[in-house]
Amino acid sequence: MTVILPVITVDGPSGVGKGTLCKALAELLKWHLLDSGAIYRVLAVAASHHQLDINTEEALVPIAEHLDVRFVSNNRQLQVILEGEDITNEIRTEAIGKSASQVATFPRVRAALLLRQRAFRKKPGLVADGRDMGTVVFPDAPVKIFLDASVQARAHRRMLQLQAEGVNVSFERLLVDIQERDNRDRSRLIAPLIPAADALILDSTNMSIEQVINASLAYIERKLPMGQAVQDAAKYSYTKF
């Protein structure tokens, strides 16, 4: 008898709090975590470490197929481990971002990383953060959440985040940037940003992160058999997050 390992997918546009929710769920449930948005950056770092030409698809496919990466959530902080090395800071650099955009243009690389993402599905379960997790990567996931929020709320959250990091940027500029990215994500031909037909659509515009976690866990309890991890998580004091 084949046992299908549970997956919780959390999709949605940028700035809705997907990462925060997924890290919280992975910690509470003690499940594995996949940050699909970081996968191409991780591949770019791996190519740099192995001195591979990022403009050559043939050189990238083998390393994409066997990408040795782990995502670890600890106290709601995400660590990215590549081949045993912490590359959390390295993947956020401008140079790696540009390289990631380049490697993402290769069809065979994308196909290899799709399989690699699916390989994150391990016991006891997986929380997958992305834009097409419930529609493309894990269409059979028993729990699918589409997290959304108004463009204004997302721009405000991003502005506060940047200000906390010492970066001053106008609200209007962020609003335009987010709207443009939404349009690109929703209109692209391959894996457009749309909710899965069977996803819970959760609007976080006027919700705190604690409320989002609570609502998500209540939905998970309804959709999954009540294992001990889910029971323990349901009793958690979410104000700790």
16 labelled ligand-binding: yes
Residues in the chain: 241
User: How far is residue 175's CA from residue 154's CA, in Å, rounded to a whole number?
Assistant: 8
* The pair of three-digit structure tokens given for residue 26, joined into one six-digit string: 């992975």
User: How far is residue 36's CA from residue 121's CA, in Å, rounded to a whole number?
Assistant: 13
Q: Are 191 and 136 in contact (CB under 8 A)?
A: yes
- The total of other beta-carbon atoms located within 10 Å of residue 79's CB is 13
12 labelled ligand-binding: yes
Dihedral sign (CA 138, 139, 141, 145):
positive
15 labelled ligand-binding: yes
- Of all helices (H) and strands (E), which one includes residue 103? helix 94-103
* The pair of three-digit structure tokens given for residue 92, joined into one six-digit string: 């956020």
20 labelled ligand-binding: yes
User: How far is residue 20's CA from residue 28's CA, in Å, rounded to a whole number?
Assistant: 12
130 labelled ligand-binding: no
- Sorted by sequence, the CB contacts under 8 Å of residue 82 that are 6+ apart come out as 42, 45, 46, 49, 67, 68, 69
Query: Known binding site: residues?
Result: 12-20
Query: Known binding site for ATP: residues?
Result: 12-20
